[in-house]
Amino acid sequence: MKNQDKNTSKDISRKEALHKIGDYGKYAALTALGTYILLNPKKAQAASPTNPNTDF
Amino acid sequence: MDSHLSSIVLKEIENKSVVWFQNSNQYLILENVVAEIVKKLYYENNIEEIAKTLKKNLAIPFEKAFDFIIDIDEQIVKPNKTIKKSILVQNSDFTIPSSFEFIKYYQIAQKVMKVSYSSEFELSLIHPKFAHLEVTKPKKINFSFQTFNNTDHTYLVLDNELIGSWSKKDIHYFQGKFSMKIIESVYEKLEEKWMGIFHASAINHQEDSMLILGDSGNGKSTSLALLQAHGFHCIADDFVPIDDAKNIHSFPAGISIKKNSFPILLDYYPELKSSAEYHYERLNKIVHYLPPKNIDYKKSFPCKTLIFIKYDDNIEFECKEISKLNAFENLIPDSWISSISNNVTVFLNWFSSLSCYQLTYSNNQLMIDSVRKLFKNDL
């Protein structure tokens, strides 16, 4: 299971957001039902990172 | 927060379900059947009964249905019931400096804000975007910020109350909170009255508005500046506030224009040439700020359309409607959405009513024409 927190990132890819419930082999109906996408909004209001003195 | 008191919000969008968990503030896009199972598990937790129904509906062995329900419970429901909201620990070990190197006054709507910066560092974080609003020392000050560094954190104080402190890696949250406090003060609405803040550009025409979205470098701000030069009004760039009545409000920060957009924009904005230039080495770009025109703080606008925009040299013009779920996947990770459950309900209802488009272009006129048509509902 890879249900880790992916807060913050706007670089999140669909692959990272995509999750699967269990492994049901030949039971295609369950396999089809078991795919879901997990999305985290930003934890607070943010601006675009564009500042000159934060080059670290 | 007591997890028993937390809630979930469900909304069907395009034959799938979006489920929001208050405890973790996460959004899941699920099959409708699974969303119903999640709801039952969350509030009733009768696994055997749910498994029996699933077995019947899918014609599968009971133990497979049962395992599936257990997996949903373990993977989706339990983690979202037990995750507590992180409590922000404020670094209270600080002293407000006795003097500040820079003091600036800015007029926004009818209000004047004073910002005291302890050094050039804090000035560089805030001032460039608001420089066009600067006024000389006014008679009345409506609200007053102080910002300074202490033990590697940047602090923000508003009217003598500590708002927060941020490390350098989180400095975009410092800027976001500063902007949030501005809209709270200017519109006299506390944070709970705001549904969300979008990383987008917002334009308005007559009584409607649209959001322009896209990854950094895709031309949001350039498109906004072009549209502004062709009769549309800029409502906000980069930081777009929407309230709990689903209305977009103006935010007067300068439109960030990269120097490589100058060939497109100088005909319309010759003043860009002599405007202040900011070098963002880490991002390898040079930026100027263009003051938004005709901001009317008394008006707010409903928004019915999202446009995901992309400037592409190889494509003259393409515009197609995209699925709302696709738009949702792109919108959420880049947005702050209020985590108050009533606001989430309002947000999901609003989102499900939107039309979403992908617009790729290199022909500016075709882009402008298509936005005009979208406003007329005539594309």
Give tens-digit pLDDT for B130-153.
999 999 989 999 999 999 998 789
Contacts of B7 (CB under 8 A, 6+ apart): B22, B341
Contacts of B87 (CB under 8 A, 6+ apart): none
Q: What is the interface pTM, i.e. ipTM, of the complex?
A: 0.90
Average pLDDT over chain B, rounded to an integer: 92
Interchain contact, A46 vs B336, CB within 8 Å: yes
Please, which residues bridge with residue B81 across strands? none
Q: Which of B71, B121, B216 sits opposite A22 (nearest CB)?
A: B71
Which amino acid, one-letter code, is at B214?
G
* % of chain B beyond a pLDDT of 70: 95
pLDDT reported for residue B86: 58
> What are the boundaries of each domain within chain A?
1-42
pLDDT reported for residue B180: 98
Q: Is A20 on the interface with B (CB under 8 A)?
A: no
* Cα–Cα–Cα angle for B39, B41, B47, rounded to 5 degrees: 140
Distance of residue A9 Cα from the nearest chain B Cα, in angstroms: 6
For B58-67, B284-293, B312-321, B340-349, which range has the lowest pLDDT when averaged over its residues?
A: B284-293
Chain B, window 100-139: residues with a beta carbon less than 8 angstroms from a chain A beta carbon? 120-121, 124-125
Which amino acid, one-letter code, is at B165?
S
- Residue B296 — very low, low, confident or very high, per pLDDT cuts 50/70/90? confident
The size of chain B, in residues, is 379
pLDDT reported for residue A1: 32
Domain B194-376 adopts which CATH fold? Rossmann fold (3.40.50)
Dump pLDDT digits (tens) for A3-13.
434 444 445 67
Dump pLDDT digits (tens) for B209-237.
999 999 888 889 999 999 999 999 999 99
Distance of residue A8 Cα from the nearest chain B Cα, in angstroms: 7
Q: Is A16 on the interface with B (CB under 8 A)?
A: no
Dump pLDDT digits (tens) for B95-110.
899 999 999 999 999 9
Interchain contact, A53 vs B216, CB within 8 Å: no
Q: Which residues of B touch A4 (CB under 8 A)?
A: none
DSSP string, B309-355: EEE-TT-SEEEEE--HHHHHHHHGGG-EE--SHHHHHHHHHHHHT-E
Dump pLDDT digits (tens) for B44-56.
889 999 999 999 9
- Residue A26 — very low, low, confident or very high, per pLDDT cuts 50/70/90? confident
Q: Quote the CA–CA distance of B307 and B224 in Å, as a whole number.
A: 12
Distance of residue A44 Cα from the nearest chain B Cα, in angstroms: 6
Interchain contact, A21 vs B334, CB within 8 Å: no
Q: At what angle do helices B62-72 and B47-58 cross, to 10 degrees?
A: 120
- Residue B313 — very low, low, confident or very high, per pLDDT cuts 50/70/90? very high
B87, B170, B175: best to mutate for the A interface, most A CBs within 10 A = B175
pLDDT reported for residue B92: 67
State which residue of chain A sits closest to B18, comparing Cα positions: A37
Q: How many CB pairs under 8 A join A and B?
A: 143
Interchain contact, B28 vs A29, CB within 8 Å: no
* % of chain B beyond a pLDDT of 90: 84
Interchain contact, A38 vs B26, CB within 8 Å: yes
For A50-54, B75-79, B188-192, B221-225, which range has the lowest pLDDT when averaged over its residues?
A: A50-54
Q: Is B216 on the interface with A (CB under 8 A)?
A: yes
Q: Quote the CA–CA distance of B252 and B250 in Å, as a whole number.
A: 6
Closest among B128, B47, B76, B237 to A1, alpha carbons compared:
B76
Dump pLDDT digits (tens) for B74-97.
999 998 887 665 555 666 677 899
For B84, which DSSP code? P
Distance of residue B377 Cα from the nearest chain A Cα, in angstroms: 30
